[in-house]
Structure 1
């Protein structure tokens, strides 16, 4: 998928009008690419459309209209667009209670490195996490991480042929795995090229 440029973005006024007409469609697209792993980890698999929406929202909320500010947002978010050999996701660790969140983030150090995708008949692919900067300290992990799952040619071929897919985590303090729903896999497979 091609990176977004200034010409792909709408003015704040045009985006406001577009959002009124298209918000349900944008939410449905994002929902089709969201996978919950247990009660406390959510992966939002990104694509060009989700990233464009994110950038437009940042520009709208922050009222950014100057070229340098727009370019800064493009530079920050373009690396999250898959490039045909991978899936990229924003991982959210969510605990409603602040004290529980603080305690669990301390227990989940390195959880981002223990996330995996397993394509049916293929070995697990572990996430490459936070390539832009380290998001944890010696005391705790961050509640937000950016993940890349890089697939080999045989894995991509299996995905394109309709293989089932599991998402999981083998961190000692958060062992979870699920089968990704077929309709979600169908959305994610659009990010893959043979």
Structure 2
């Protein structure tokens, strides 16, 4: 699934709809957000969250020319899951700027150590930042884009088609300087993510 140029609102139309649309998207995102430890948050993207991001970028940049709109679509459409994966924006958050600088240096490579685990299946580690590298030799970025590729068996289990009892999805990070695991995401989050899977 991807967002088409024709389905976007004009700047004027978006200005009229923005308040109501934003409230809808914030409630939607809340069900798709998982905190992993005290400093990492994953927001699992879908068509609605990406549509909102595109409309916001067009609004902020006052983009109305065709080329600029198509550039935004090209940048953000890859964040929409395609039926056999989950995609997430990962945010590393430290309120104190000095602490954040130190921690981002300690967390080099953390984006490659994020995983999801369906039931008793093997962990699926993220494919990170496919559009561009978001770390250098000295520090990682505070924002990363992650893709988790699931097998047909994992998808079937999450959708309750394998008769293994209630499906469960764990999310964790296994990094020398940041190791946390959420043993089972909340039921409303699991239900939202299952809808991303064909």
Structure 2 length-normalised TM: 0.95
What runs of 5+ residues in structure 2 fail to find an aligned partner? 161-165
Hey, what does 1:191 align to over in structure 2? 196
1:87-141: per-residue Cα shift (whole Å, max 9, x none)? 0001000111111000000000000000000111211100000111111111001
2:34 corresponds in structure 1 to 35
CA distance in 2, matches of 1:97, 1:63: 32
Task: List structure 1 segments (4+ residues) > 3 angstroms apart after TM superposition.
Answer: none
Q: How many residues align?
A: 192
CA RMSD of aligned residues (A): 0.9
Q: For residue 140 of structure 2, give the secondary structure of its aligned residue in structure 1.
A: coil
Q: State the TM-score, normalized to the length of structure 1.
A: 0.97
Deviation at 1:13, TM superposition (A): 1.2
Q: Give the equivalent residue in structure 2 for 1:168.
A: 172
Secondary structure of the corresponding residue to residue 112 of structure 1: helix
Q: Provide the rounded CA distance (Å) in 1 between the counterparts of 2:129 and 2:117.
A: 20
Distance of 1:8 and 1:121 partners within structure 2: 40
Residue in structure 2 matched with residue 180 of structure 1 by the alignment = 185
Which residue is 1:87 aligned to?
86
Which blocks of at least 5 consecutive residues in structure 1 are unaligned?
none
Q: Distance in 1 between matches of 2:181 and 2:155?
A: 21
Q: Which residue is 1:78 aligned to?
A: 77
Residue 61 (structure 1) shift: 1.1
Give 1:62 deviation, angstroms: 1.1
Partner-residue secondary structure (3-state), 2:171:
strand
Quick check: 12-21 or 32-41, which moved more? 12-21
In the alignment, what sits opposite 1:153?
152
